[in-house]
Amino acid sequence: MPGTGLWRTKTVEQSIKDTDEPDTKLRKNLGAWDLMVFGVSVVIGAGIFTLAASTAGDVTGPSVSLSFVIAAIACGLAAVCYAEFASTVPVAGSAYTYSYATFGEFVAWIIGWDLILEFAVAAAAVSKGWSSYLQQVLQLIGINGVPTKFELGPLQFDWGALLLIAGLTAVLALGTKLSARVSLVISAIKVFVVLLVVVIGLSYINTANYTPFIPPAEAGAEDASKLDQSLLSLLLGGETSSFGVFGLLAGASLVFFAFIGFDVVATTAEETRNPQRDAPRGIFGSLAIVTVLYVAVAVVVTGMVNFKQLATVDGEKATLATAFQLNGVTWAAGVITVGALAGLTTVVMVMFLGQVRILFAMSRDGLLPRGLAKTHDEHGTPVRATLIVGGIVALAAAFFPADKLEEMVNVGTLFAFILVSAGVIILRRSRPDLPRGFRAPLVPLIPILAIIACVWLMLNLTALTWVRFVVWMIAGVVVYFLYSRKHSRLGQQQRDIAAGGSV
């Protein structure tokens, strides 16, 4: 157990050994196909159904497809690093576990705290979108006047989001394999809808809508805060990050939210029968599939209508259905709405799954209460952690507004990607003897490029997002020193060894 205090590291061997503890053992019943389904389930949904059209209308114009490509490249570089770690350290916790083996306990805690923000906020944010689509589906089947949100005193209560989280909590508590089967069925519906968009939308494309591909930058509103600019634009003295080159880059940072998912695949490595082979396949397969679909949909949607028709009006953001409605294809809009409802269901479920596995890993290490890591005798799932996360996410989804939640998720995810990429370089040097089911090529070049790409994307998020992120990180540091440092199992083992040696 090299290192002491804040920088004590947990060996890869110890992390793997801990997975066999009877009270905290997860059931290994997933294969490469299951992992790929999870990846596609979580990645296809948020970007296609809630971000592509609105980002084009408000930030990038037709060049939103290029924003998707830039975000996919950044994700691809990081995915290579995740694949090596997932095949080398097949333990729940993803970036948290990898950081524990490379940077030490304090950094691991910080990244775990960061991942809690990423997955919990993502699940809450997307469930709000699901609730909006639920209301549209109810209207399609003739149930009008039943809003999924209503005022409850000073708060707005979203019963649709609460209903979704409650249902998914039950599914995840009953087993990961069941979750994979549910994801497979719903993802099939989702992919069908995406392909429908591409095929039908092709006949409505007007190439004039692609000009200008990168619209000239527009001045921001006079009352707009400087904190609402991208940090890069603010540092370089730009006046706006709407359209133009700054808009294109800001758009890449926004649609990056759509690609969050392959890191969830890494969190399920411990529940995979052959993680050395299947984890990399699941990561790369899901990322390749969704990148092709995203770019195709972005090209079709921006070709169907002028990007200005996709701008947000009175707080209402455009969706894929908007483009079809503007072309008079009302039945297609209805199908898209149903597909979006199904699609966002799996997005929330897999984000929820990732959150529980991070909490489980941190609890097993004693950085959070150990009782949360106890698994169910029959289902082999961390039921306590699932119920607690379900309750917290349900409250956030039911009562908190969704504004800016996507950007909060982005900054947290990019930070995790940076540490994982750096961790590959460190572990290659400190433990070259470790068996690796997949070896990232061109190390350290690929990890360095991944770090640069992620830093670049982080700089294109708004300054206000950075302020919120820093506040969350400060809160995490406080929790670590008040609780986690004292209750760390690794720290206790080192104290026991020191006490034994002093006798």
Q: Higher confidence at residue 113 or residue 339?
A: 113
Mean pLDDT of 172-186: 77
Predicted confidence at residue 477, as pLDDT, reads 94
Q: How far apart are CA 321 and CA 301, in angstroms?
A: 10
Q: How far apart are CA 57 and CA 302, in angstroms?
A: 9
Give the 3-state secondary structure of residue 214: coil
Residue 239 has pLDDT above 70, yes or no: no
List pLDDT tens digits, range 378-400. Answer: 767 788 888 998 898 888 888 87
Mean pLDDT of 314-333: 82
Q: How far apart are CA 388 and CA 175, in angstroms?
A: 16
Q: Give phi and psi for 305, each to the nearest 5.
A: -140, 160
Residue 228 has pLDDT above 80, yes or no: no
Residue 240 has pLDDT above 60, yes or no: no
For the chain, give the mean pLDDT: 83
How many other CB atoms are there within 10 angstroms of residue 428's CB atom? Answer: 18
Residue 349 has pLDDT above 90, yes or no: no
Residue 471 has pLDDT above 80, yes or no: yes
Give the 3-state secondary structure of residue 239: coil
Least confident of 54-58, 205-209, 310-314: 310-314
Query: Residue 211 carries which DSSP code?
Result: S
Any idea of the CA torsion for 430, 426, 468, 156, to the nearest 10 degrees?
-80
Q: Give phi and psi for 350, each to the nearest 5.
A: -75, -35
Predicted confidence at residue 330, as pLDDT, reads 80
- The proportion of the chain whose per-residue pLDDT surpasses 90, expressed as a percent, equals 22
Predicted confidence at residue 258, as pLDDT, reads 74
Pairing between β-strand 149-152 and β-strand 155-158 as defined by DSSP bridges: antiparallel
Closest CA to 393 of 354, 447, 335: 354
